[in-house]
Structure 1
Amino acid sequence: MQYLYGSGEAAALSLQAYQALWNYLKVEIGYRRDKSQIRSVVLTPGSTLDNPRFETCGKRPLAVVLDIDETALLNLGYERDEAASGGGYDAARWSRWEQTGADKVAAVPGAAEALAAARREGFTVIFNSNRSAASAAQTAAALDHAGLGPAALFDTLWLRGEGEPSGKDSRRQKIAGRYCIVAMAGDQLGDFSDLFNAPDASIAARRNTVGGTLLAPLWGAGWFMLPNPVYGTALKGGLDDIFPPDARWTDPGAAPR
């Protein structure tokens, strides 16, 4: 929390990500004369991480799709309360936050400016979040408070319905049916594809899917990652999962244990 909400380093990373997103939209997309041949950055159904496939835009309007929490919106009130009170994630507590915390948030550095610029250039900005659809009005109000709106449910705001799984691919495909999604931003790999969150994937395999497959060129060129060392799917793995055996080192000058 010190890093994400309090450091200049995290603010710089966020600004860097949104600057890169805007430059991509302006240069790589904006200067293309034939927009119909631009490829969507959403994996088509049937794709795998080793065999990704994408559709061309055709006549669909161009859009940017973003996660909300810690991608566009900083949940300062909630995280401050959690830091002070301790304890892990509690779904009921989060629900109360969604309902009552709309004015205790701030925009991720760079987000408001980049999204405003995208809208001015004709890109539709769409939010796809696992926040509850029951709190749609409050979520829209939080986005407005942070200068990130407007957002309208089932148009430019897509939220998790009652009993719906946490994966976002089903909502992504519904959005992709109406828009050509030319850029996505998130703070978790699942903000880009549910395929990254296969339950049987090892720590090393999941990391390799990012840089060791045909998807690697998308980072910074259609897919934009924001820093979040506070919560989420990134924070798992023990000592032996994270550090490979051939990288182990023992200080020869250390006292025997």
Structure 2
Amino acid sequence: MKLRFVIAALTLPLLSGGCAAALLPLAAAGAMATQQGGGEKEARPMTASAAIPPAARQSEAAELTRGEAVALAELGESRGSDTYEILELTELPAPSGAPESAAPAAYKSYSGFTNYVMDQTQVDLSEGSRTSAILKDPARLDGEVQECYGQPAAVLIDIDPPGDIFDATARTFIDPGLREALRELSANSVQVLWISDLSPNFSDEVVTAIKRAGFAEVTEDSLLLGAGEDGRKQALREQAAMRFCIVAIAGDEKGDFDEAYFYLRDPVAAIGLDRLYDKGWFLAPTPFITEGS
């Protein structure tokens, strides 16, 4: 490879100006190519050249293309009085002006959830009422919800996977997007409640599991466990609605919002409930992700 660059350098004076300009980018491309071996590409550290020109010559340094800079550095040459520093990079640096940190990409998928809840917290209770996510009369299937009477705002997170019960012993972490959303809501005085069919006897284990998964603000008082007095999550949701204005529910199946879905013979009959989706009811993946999956 080095020999080819030397030959290329020796032949430059024999070429016209246009041909020489074309040769340098091609040489640079060869220098940055990956090696082929065994059917797979072997990654090589990226070698880049950065000009460090005098302050008075910024405009001239800006005219160098990346390919020209690499080629000149490989040949041990420099343009004018400029000097070049060889940098060993494994990845390109962030663009200038880029933020030091940003929310996980998954956070965007919960932006509607977060924005809706935050809008509810801004309601002036002296002039109006927050909108509950608990149905007033599930049997009517009309989407009409209960009224809130000044209770503190809360969100309800169903932690049971579809057709199963939450496993407090599994090594899991909370979906990064949901974790960031809940932290923001908690910081704005929104109570985060967690609901599961798991027995209340495991409340300590559930608190430990949620903290270990990434949400430290959980307490036993924020758990709704045991499927209620009559063996139904519906009872737990209605009991919680007496203490809080539950403005949003996040679940991975429709039955997490109301048990009416479990008794439907004709799904079309529940079309009146569709208006609550993304306006109180939020279908989302199971909040806990198993480590290594």
What TM-score, normalized by structure 1, do the two folds share? 0.62
Higher RCO (C-alpha 8 Å, min separation 6): 1
Shift of 1:138: 0.9
Q: Deviations over 1:161-192 (max 9, x none)?
A: 69852x31100111000111111110121210
Percent identity between matched residues is: 26
1:41/1:183 contact within 8 Å kept: yes
Matches within 5 A, 1:138-217: 138-153=205-220, 155-160=221-226, 165=231, 167-198=232-263, 201-202=264-265, 205-206=266-267, 208-209=268-269, 212-213=271-272, 215-217=273-275
| Partner AA of 1:58 in structure 2 | Y
| Partner AA of 1:119 in structure 2 | S
Partner SS, residue 64 of structure 1: strand
Instruction: Provide the residue aligned with 1:136 in structure 2.
Output: 203
Matches within 5 A, 1:44-83: 44=136, 46-70=137-161
Change (3 A) 1:218 1:162: closer
Structure 2 portions without partners, runs of 5+ = 1-103, 287-293
CA RMSD of aligned residues (A): 2.9
Structure 1 portions without partners, runs of 5+ = 1-10, 72-88, 229-257
Q: Deviations over 1:176-225 (max 9, x none)?
A: 00111111110121210011111xx34xx23x355x22x21211111100
1:65/1:128 contact within 8 Å kept: yes
Partner SS, residue 60 of structure 1: coil
Q: How many residues align?
A: 182
Q: Following the alignment from structure 1 to structure 2, what is the Cα–Cα distance between the partners of residues 162 and 52? A: 23
| Partner AA of 2:205 in structure 1 | Q
Q: Which has the larger radius of gyration?
A: 2
Runs of 4+ in 1 over 4 A off after TM superposition: 14-17, 161-164
Partner SS, residue 235 of structure 2: helix
Instruction: Provide the residue aligned with 1:107 in structure 2.
Output: 174
Instruction: Provide the residue aligned with 1:20 in structure 2.
Output: 112
2:210/2:218 contact within 8 Å kept: yes
Instruction: Judging by fraction of residues, say which structure has more strand.
Output: 2
Change (3 A) 1:47 1:162: closer
